[in-house]
Structure 1
Amino acid sequence: MADALVTVVLEQLSSIIAQKVQKEVGLVAGVKNEVQKLERKFKAIIAVLADAEQRQLNEESIKHWMGQLKDVSYDMDDVLDEWSTTIAKSQMKVNDEHPRKTIKKVCSFMIFSCFCFREVGLRCHVAREIQTLNDRIDGIVTEKNTFHFKLSEGGPNLPERKITASVIDATEIKGREKDKGTIVKMLVGESSDQEPALRTISLVGMGGIGKTTLAQLVYNDHQVETYFGKRIWVCVSDPFDETRIAKAILEALTRSAQNLIELQALLEKIQESISGKRLLLVLDDVWNEDSTKWEQLKNSLKRGCLPGSRFLVTTRNKKVANIMGSSSTDILELGLLSPDECWSLFSQFAFFEKNSRQRENLEGTGRKIAERCKGLPLAAKTLGSLLRFKRSRAEWESVLNNHVWEIEEAESKLLAPLWLSYHDLPTKMRPCFLYCAVFPKDYTFKRDALIKLWMAQGFLRETQNQEMEATGGECFEALAARSFFQDFEKDEDDGRIIECKMHDMVHDFAQSMTKNEIFSLEIDGGPAESKIGSFSRDARHSMVVFRNDDAYSFPATIHSFKKLRSLIVNGSPSPMNAALPHLIANLSCLRTLKLSDCGIEEVPSNIGKLIHLRHVDLSGNEIKELPEEMCELYNMQTLDVSACWKLEKLPDNIGNLIKLRHLSVLRRSDSSFVEMRGFEGLGCLRELDEFHVSGSGEGSNIGGLKNLNHLQGSLWIKWLGDVKDPDEVKKAELKRKEKLTRLDLRFGSRRERRIIRDDEILEALEPPPNIDWLGIYDYQGIIQVLPSWINKLKVVRLVNWGKIENLPSLGKLPFLEELAVAWMDSVRKVGSEFLGMEAGADDDDSDISIGEITASPSNTIIAFPRLKTLSFDTLENWEEWEGEGRRNEDKTIMPSLRSLEIYDCPKLKALPDYIYQSTTLEKLRIMYSPILKEQFKEGGKGWPNTSHTPNIKLL
């Protein structure tokens, strides 16, 4: 983390020197020179950091020096942040107090003098801090010179990489039979001879998972050996040297590189040598992300060899696999061994030449050690080999109870491969990866939450062309592609990773790199205070994890870690009300304070003094109100008070949080309401999950959304109160929120009488132009059709429309893929109007319509042309679903339907003909609808029509 941290500090120092604000505010005499000295020293340190990062793995003195460097860099970052924050806040106050630009010079001078007077204490404090830091960095620079570091010359000094070959003893390999069979089939499948192009098969996975081993097994398989006329193994590693690789290929083909030097000559000779041969080329350990380095070699090989030839690539990075030419179907992401396979591999080494009595004595401990390997073959083999010559249970338990990096014999073999992956990361991504060490093993990382935490620590930079959130998304994807994450849960719609985990060995590596900066405290019943004593008081990030529900109190001595930048509490079983004031009073460096579900009833007012604070998560607590002092937190980026059911209002001055980007008040309940006013100043807001409208005037006015044009994703708007006229609704200017894609409207309880109708509100909204999801809940309008702006919708949810007897003409929506209708008490019949095929549909005398029904080029009318999922839930009075007769040449209904679900519709008598006749239906659910259920039992009236549907469930 040191390299990225030092770079950040250097950027801040350079910015301070160049800032115009220096001329306006001034500095204590000599401070500018001190800042310039610091800048020069940090530049000199950056020049040797690559060498220092590598050598710290084996030299304790350098590791200590790196720790000192990180400490002074953190402290410098705090000083600079305090300085810039206070100046910015003071300038805001001046601008607020005197907004007019045409102020007389004498008045301006008085204002400026007051401003300087307020800042004189700060400037003296900054001067003292910078002088102290300069003295500290002097010692670090002096010590640097004693290590004789190598200067960086355009790139990192990478550790020596292991050279691989194709030789293997297959008897030592456990658990890859299925994977081997899959790859062999991809290489020698029946279709190979018909394929003109070279296919590239890639094995992808984290370091130590067995990619090279599997490639060796495949390479030496008899079927593969027989099928390919020529097999070549090349260990590529990094850098990707086309000439060296070409020489290796040519040497394998001719037993000599023939003293050729130029790439062109090598490629010509290779083409000549492989002519008329079916080739298998294994490229092991590829890191290259530059497609141009591979293209010439690939094209030359394609022109030379026979169809059916193959490339087999091993890499840790899925992006590399794509660059090398593998399609998604040609990438095998290698999984971990099963527990039994892992135990078999571990015991093969650990119990070598041990008798049955020794094995019986050690097996219990051995199985626990094997479990720690979490299916990683390298870990099982390394720890098994380590224990091969250890025969006492005490020795084995020592291995079990220590971190991997504390076991000297295992550290180099297990962590070194991960060091290569770490070193391959761009410098700015490294702190994002290392920050994950603050979480416990087997923790589920949520993508968006993790990105917000990275933002709070300053790991992500915003540019003119890209927001921090987008940069964070790229970083997350890069870590996943490089196999730092695993166990992915993906979004069903776009395939984006939304959750993942980290393998224990990767977690151990991250902890080994941050062991004096980051600590996790697990409280499971023992005395927590005794555990705290082993952690460095210079630690910067901490997570406290309660492992059970017993009411253990929060460890009070946490507040002695005064340099903490992150405090994350997970699962506190007892309220933190007593501990919280002391924590806030002492942890002045906090940037992240995450205290969800901690039983907190009151937030101390002194939280406003935590000037560095950027991320506050108080979700799930018993808070009734937030102190106005929170609005002094100028740097706040994320505030989460979701599921705080007792919270009645947000602070009136919340608009002062001009850097706030994410605000969550999520509660969804119809009756729960939060007073939300003063939002006009939150122009940076990117995420607002709910906005509660209490009415007009002094309350939470819908017009508060006017300036929030950066909102992204989804937004819930909930009404609870009077709206006087449509023009008031238009003040929200939702049409300018171009990045919103989902809109949910809950019209609230019926406790108050509306001045205008719900349908008038709906049409007046002028919603975002790019929404594809619309939900409307508790709608009490009297017009049954939807407004004119919904034609782009892919998902529609209509819930609890109390007065509507007929469903809107949703069949006209050309892009609709998913429709859910629920709690429609007044609906008794669903007829042709639902399809948009009712008589006179095109002549609807209402001024609200949703466009024309879709027609194909052959003039066939298509209702619901793209609908895939349809569900009806709790329509208790629904009796008839009218059909349209059999399909004919000029009418088609729901041609894409895949899933139909009907819940709690007890009076519904039958499904329409177009459902019975569907040839696309794959899933049918009929639950708590007894009349329909009887029809669809085997042999029932409806059975012949839907018996071909593969997935039917009746209840």
Structure 2
Amino acid sequence: MADALVSIVLEQLSSIVFQEVGQEVRLVVGVDNEVEKLASNFRAIQAVFADAEERQLKDQLVKHWLDQLKDVSYDMDDVLDEWGTSIAKSKMKVNEHPRKTAKKVCSFVIFSCFRFREVGLRRDIAHKIRGLNERIDKIVVEKDSFHFKLFEVGIKQFEHQKTTSVIDATEVKGREKDKDGVMEMLLSERSQGPALRTISLVGMGGIGKTTLAKLVYNDRKVETHFDKRIWVCVSDPFNEITIAKAILEALKGSALDLNELQTLLESIRSLIGGKKFLLVLDDVWNEDSTKWEQLKDSLKCGLPGSRILVTTRKKNVTSSMGSSPIDILELGLLSTEECWSLFSQFACLEKTSKEYDNLEDIGRQIAAKCKGLPLAAKSLGSLLRFKSRIEEWESVLKSHVWETEEAESKILAPLWLSYNDLPSDMRPCFSYCAVFPKDFRFNRDTLIKLWMAQGFLRETQNKKMEVRGCEYFEALAARSFFQDFEKNKDDGSIYACKMHDMVHDFAQNLTKNECFSVDIDGVSESKIDSFSRDARHSMVVFRNYRSYSFPATIHSLKKLRSLIVDGYPLSMNAALPNLIANLSCLRTLRLSKCGIEEVPSNIGKLIHLRHVDLSKNEIRELPKEMCALYNMLTLVVSGCEKLERLPDNIERLVKLRHLSVANDWDDTWFVKMRGVEGLSSLRELDEFHVSGSGEESNVGDLRNLNHLQGYLRIRWLGDVKDPDEVKKAELHNKKHLTHLYLWFNSRTDRRIIRDDKVLEALEPPPNIYSLGIYYYQEVILFRVFPGWINKLRVVELRYWGEIENLPPLGKLPSLEKLTIGWMGCVGRVGREFLGLRVDSDISIGEMTSSSNTIIAFPKLKSLSFWSMEKWEEWEGGNEDKTNISISTIIIPSLRYLNIRDCPKLKALPDYVLQSTTLKQLAIGGSFILEEQYLKAGGEGWPNASHTPIIKKTIYGD
């Protein structure tokens, strides 16, 4: 993380020195020279990072030097952040109090007092910078004593171990199924696809990619199937001439003195032309397909059935090398028993039967600790091969991987290669994950916001922090640093994941004195005392509900930049003021579910604070001092059921990008949100509460929030009486919004203005594809929103208490998912729902251009009905015979149908019963339908041959 910190400091130094506020608040004399000296020292250090990072693996003095550098870099970052914040606030103050003729005396007094405070602050910063320069001078002097090699910034110097095809197959455990799969891909003569197929094996370092490639390469069937077999260890960098020479040497026994790529490729072509060959390219890192094209083209002269087998840690490499999705095998971890078998093969080789019996139980625990990673099982097994005492094995079990002798170089060294391959600005994002405990479930969006708070994501004019964060997350996932992915069903994107224990150990090794997590179990104070006073990031985990108080020892860790609390501690109300007073360097403060009733006003002094999560607490209001947190990027108060309002001066949080206030458990909860109109930097506002009062939040306050993206729910507390005010929201300018949910106040008084006027005034965002409407009272919905019809893919309609007929949703040509629920007055669903009413003033259905055919719900895949208590009739779509010249097709793409708590529904319509596309039908709390299904024995109800899953469910399935 040190190189990234130095880069951040250099970037701040280069930009901040050019910022000036005015003559009255210029820098203290001489500081500019100190700043230039700092920048020069940091640039000199940056040039030796590559060598220093490589040498720290074996040299503890170098590692200590890097730790010192990280420590001073953190402190420098804090000072520069204080300086930059001061400059920015100065500009705001000057703009707020311009020296005009009007109110001249008042403005002069305000400005003079302000100038006096600023000069004092500048002198304090100047003193800190001089002190830091003294520290960095010592580090630079010590640097020279190591005689580091100079490399260009960004050059990778870590040595890749060369591999060969030699293997002892008896040492391999648990890859039989994977081997069979690769053999099938290598030996099958597929008629379609390219003649030269590229098969890729993907996985994290140490998972066994090379081992599996060796197994198939040396298999007797493979030997006889291919005329030529070639093994090349590619590693990094990807050099075409070097690879071509290796191929030629394998084919001919010598590459002679050929150095021209053209000559080398011609020689290769002459040797493999008309032959079936297998080329293994082991350990490929290159993602640039152009570097591979010429070499691959020269190999196409082989016979059909020739294969290229690639092993790589990076998913992106597979596409650059030309592998199709069906030719990619992502290696999984070994099972617990397979891991034990591999571990014991090495650890118990020299053991007597008595020793084996004594050590087996603890040995199985050590093997389980490897979490299915073959390299770890083999390395730890080899480490214990000549150790027979239980105490020695217990020491390995209790130790971190990097603390075990020999194991660090064998297990963690391969991960160093993956880490070194990361761009320098991506490395701290990975290292930061060490603050979380093992087996922690990372939420992608939350992790990105935490990276933002620490300054790891640099924003440019063309790329916002959130976009860069998504790219970094996906890159870490593609490089196998993450696993156990949870993916969005709609677009396949990863929204949550975990980290393998060995990868986590590696991250902890990188941040040994910086990051720690601790479980509170009654002995937490002594645990925390063992951590460095210079720790920067901490997570405190309470495993038992309200069993322990927050440890006071945390107060002594004054350099903490992250404090994350997970679980349910005893109320922190007493501890919180002192905690905030002592941790002045905090950038991230996450205190969710901590029983907090009041936020101390001194939180306003945490000038570095960027991420605050106070969700699910007992807070009634936030102190106005929070609005002095100029650098705030994320504020989360969702689930605070007692919170009545946000501070009135919240518009002062000019950098705020993410504001979360939603409460999904209480529909009646409402928070007053005056001042939101000034938060023009907002990217996320999950819920906006409209009070309807001119003194509180109005929907027109959304006018300036044109950066909003993703999800927005608008809730009205009272009656909506002014469409003109609604129009001021200018939703049509919010082009990044994709999910919109409108929550009208539940009411029975029909003497108010009709909701359709409000909907019309909203002027929908142009790219909305998911729409939810709740407590709506008019059925003419899509007469109001004609501009939405063609783009909507997801619609959810709930709590339309007085509506008796559903709107003509079948007209929506792009709709893929529809949920309808809690329509207490709907007793019949018929042709009007399908959009087949010929008297409609909107175009009828989806008419094909080649024939008189109407398609209702042409793309609908998922349809759900919830809690329709009066619903009895669900009619088919072919009852109207008045126009026999028009044929209808109804829901031709339906895959999933879900009917819950519709007790009076008598039957399913014919277009469901006869569906040939329906894959799953779930019914619960709909007793008549359930009885019909049982009587029919499931036969033909619906078309049994096309609906493999029909199940009775319970609420919540």
TM > 0.5 fold call: yes
Report the CA distance between 1:554 and its aligned residue.
Answer: 0.8
Among 210, 214, 217, which residue is 1:212 paired with? 210
CA pair 103-70 structure 1, distance change in 2 beyond 3 A = farther
Superposition pairs of residues 229-240 of structure 1, within 5 angstroms: 229-240=227-238
Deviations 1:38-89 (A, max 9, x none): 1111111111111111111111111111111111111111111111112212
Q: Which amino acid aligns with 1:939?
A: A
Give the deviation of 1:99 after TM superposition: 9.3
1:748 Cα offset (Å): 2.5
Name the residue aligned to 1:910: 907
Q: What is the Cα deviation at residue 355 of structure 1? A: 1.1
- Per the alignment, residue 815 of structure 1 pairs with 814
Question: Deviations 1:453-509 (Å, cap 9, x if unpaired)?
Answer: 000000001100010000000000111111111111111111111111111111111
Question: What amino acid is the match of 2:582?
Answer: N
1:926 Cα deviation after fit: 2.3
Report what 2:482 is aligned to. Answer: 485
Per the alignment, residue 766 of structure 2 pairs with: 769
Helix, strand or coil: the match of 2:131?
A: helix
Opposite residue 46 of structure 1, the aligned amino acid is Q
8 A contact 1:722–1:752 mirrored in 2 = no
Q: Residue 829 of structure 1 contacts residue 879 of structure 1 at CA under 8 Å; is this kept in 2?
A: yes
CA-CA distance at 1:658 after TM superposition: 0.5
Q: 1:330: how far off?
A: 1.4
Deviation, structure 1 residue 753: 7.8
Deviation for aligned residue 1:884: 2.4
In structure 2, the CA distance between the partners of 1:704 and 1:942, relative to structure 1 (3 Å rule), is farther
Give the equivalent residue in structure 1 for 2:244. 246
| Residue pair 2:719, 2:745 contacting (<8 A) in 1 also | no
Query: Is residue 425 from structure 1 mapped to residue 426 from structure 2 by the alignment?
Result: no
Contact 1:47 1:151 in 2 (8 A): yes
Q: Which residue of 2 aligns with 1:521?
A: 518
TM-aligned CA distance change 1:751 to 1:809, over 3 Å? closer
Corresponding position: 1:642 with 2:622: no
Match of 2:388 in 1: 391
SS at match of 1:946: coil
CA contact (8 A) 2:712 2:740 kept: yes
Partner of 2:260: 262
Q: Which residue among 926, 932, 944 is the counterpart of 2:929?
A: 932
- 8 Å Cα contact 1:196-1:308 kept in structure 2: no
Aligned counterpart, 2:160: 161
- 1:619-657 C-alpha deviation (Å, 9 max, x unpaired): 111111111111111000000111111111111111111
Q: Would you say 1:547 and 2:546 are equivalent positions?
A: no
1:863 is the counterpart of 2:856: yes
Matches within 5 A, 1:750-829: 750=747, 755-781=752-778, 783=780, 785=782, 787-788=784-785, 789-791=787-789, 792-829=791-828
Q: Distance in 2 between matches of 1:607 and 1:153?
A: 43
- What's 1:83 paired with? 83
Offset, 1:156: 3.0
- Report 1:291-310 matches (<5 A): 291-302=289-300, 304-310=301-307
Q: Show the counterpart of 1:139.
A: 138
* Counterpart Cα distance in 1 of 2:266 and 2:662: 65
Determine the C-alpha separation between the residues in 1 that align with 2:844 and 2:712. 25
Question: Where do residues 10-409 of structure 1 align in structure 2 (5 Å cutoff)?
Answer: 10-21=10-21, 25-98=25-98, 113-153=112-152, 155-191=154-190, 195-302=193-300, 304-409=301-406
Q: Which moved more, 1:30-39 or 1:338-347?
A: 30-39
Q: 1:497 maps to what in 2?
A: 494
How far apart are the structure 2 equivalents of 1:662 and 1:299? Answer: 50
Tell me the alpha carbon deviations over residues 756-790 of structure 1, each in whole angstroms, 9 at most, x when there is no partner: 22222222211211100111112223646563232
| Partner Cα separation in structure 2 for residue 150 and residue 889 of structure 1 | 81
The root-mean-square deviation of aligned C-alpha atoms, in Å, is 2.0
- Residue 900 of structure 1 corresponds to which residue in structure 2? 897
Aligned residue number for residue 667 of structure 1: 663
Cα distance in structure 2, aligned partners of 1:754 and 1:467: 47
The separation in 2 between residues aligned to 1:693 and 1:751, in whole angstroms, is: 19
Aligned to 1:206, the other structure's residue is in SS state coil
Q: In the TM superposition, what is the alpha-carbon distance from 1:575 to its structure 2 partner?
A: 1.1
Q: Using a 3 Å threshold, how does the CA distance of structure 1 residues 499 and 617 change in structure 2: closer, same or farther?
A: same
Q: Label 1:315 to 1:128 Cα distance change in 2 as closer, same or farther (>3 A).
A: same
1:557 to 550, 553, 556: 553
Q: CA deviation at 1:922?
A: 1.2
Q: What displacement does 1:839 show?
A: 3.0
What one-letter code is carried by the residue in structure 2 that aligns with 1:598?
C
Sequence identity percentage: 70
Alpha-carbon distance, 1:90 to partner: 2.7
Moved more, 485-494 or 745-754: 745-754
The equivalent of 2:726 in structure 1 is 729
Residue identity matched to 2:286: N
Unaligned runs of 5+ residues in structure 2 are none
**CA–CA separation in structure 1 for the residues paired with 2:194 and 2:476:** 35
One-letter code aligned to 1:188 = L
**TM-score calculated relative to the size of structure 2:** 0.96
Deviates more, 1:110-119 or 1:923-932: 110-119
Taking the aligned partners of 1:781 and 1:579, their CA distance within structure 2 comes to 52
Q: Does 1:872 align with 2:865?
A: yes
Contact 2:836 2:845 in 1 (8 A): no
Q: Contact (CA 8 Å) 1:936, 1:943: kept in 2 or not?
A: no
C-alpha deviation, 1:98, in angstroms: 3.4
Matched, 1:590 2:586: yes
1:796 CA drift (Å): 0.7
Tell me which amino acid in the other structure corresponds to 2:707.
H
Match of 1:922 among 919, 924, 928: 919
The residue that corresponds to 2:506 in the other structure is: 509
What is the rounded CA distance, in whole Å, between the counterparts of 1:314 and 1:508 in structure 2?
24
Q: Distance in 2 between matches of 1:648 and 1:753?
A: 29
Aligned mate of 2:691, from 678, 689, 694: 694
Question: Aligned in 2, Cα 1:740/1:264: closer, same or farther, shift over 3 Å?
Answer: same
Contact in 1 for aligned 2:546/2:568 (Cα 8 Å): no
Q: In the aligned structure 1, how far is the partner of 2:290 from the partner of 2:204?
A: 25
Q: What TM-score results when the alignment is normalised by the length of structure 1?
A: 0.96
Q: Deviations over 1:366-392 (max 9, x none)?
A: 111111100000000000000000000
C-alpha distance in 1 between matches for 2:460 and 2:815: 36
- What's the offset of the Cα at 1:94? 2.5
Stretch moving more, 329-338 or 899-908: 899-908
Shift of residue 755 of structure 1? 4.2
- AA in 2 matched with 1:11: E
| In structure 1, distance between residues paired with 2:7 and 2:572 | 37
Amino acid at match of 1:272: S
Q: Shift of the alpha carbon at 1:362?
A: 0.9
When residues 491 and 620 of structure 1 are mapped into structure 2, their CA distance, relative to the original with a 3 A threshold, is same
CA contact (8 A) 2:803 2:826 kept: yes
Secondary structure, aligned partner of 2:784: coil
2:650 aligns with: 654
Shift in Å, 1:9: 0.4
Q: Distance in 2 between matches of 1:753 and 1:524?
A: 58
Superposed CA deviations along residues 904-930 of structure 1, whole A, max 9, x for unmatched, are 212222222222221111111222222
Output the amino acid matched with 2:604. G
**C-alpha spacing 1:43/1:196, structure 2 compared with 1 (3 Å):** closer
* Contact 2:99–2:107 under 8 Å retained in 1: no
Aligned mates of 1:836, 1:196 — CA distance in 2: 47
Instruction: Count the aligned residue pairs.
Output: 945
Q: Aligned to 1:130, what secondary structure does the other structure show?
A: helix
Q: Distance in 1 between matches of 2:619 and 2:104?
A: 48
Q: Residue 496 of structure 2 aligns to a residue in which SS?
A: strand
Contact 2:844 2:854 in 1 (8 A): no
User: Is the Cα contact below 8 Å between 1:813 and 1:850 reproduced in 2?
Assistant: no
Q: Which moved more, 1:608-617 or 1:108-117?
A: 108-117
User: 2 CA distance for matches of 1:751 and 1:394?
Assistant: 75
* 1:433 to partner: Cα distance: 0.4
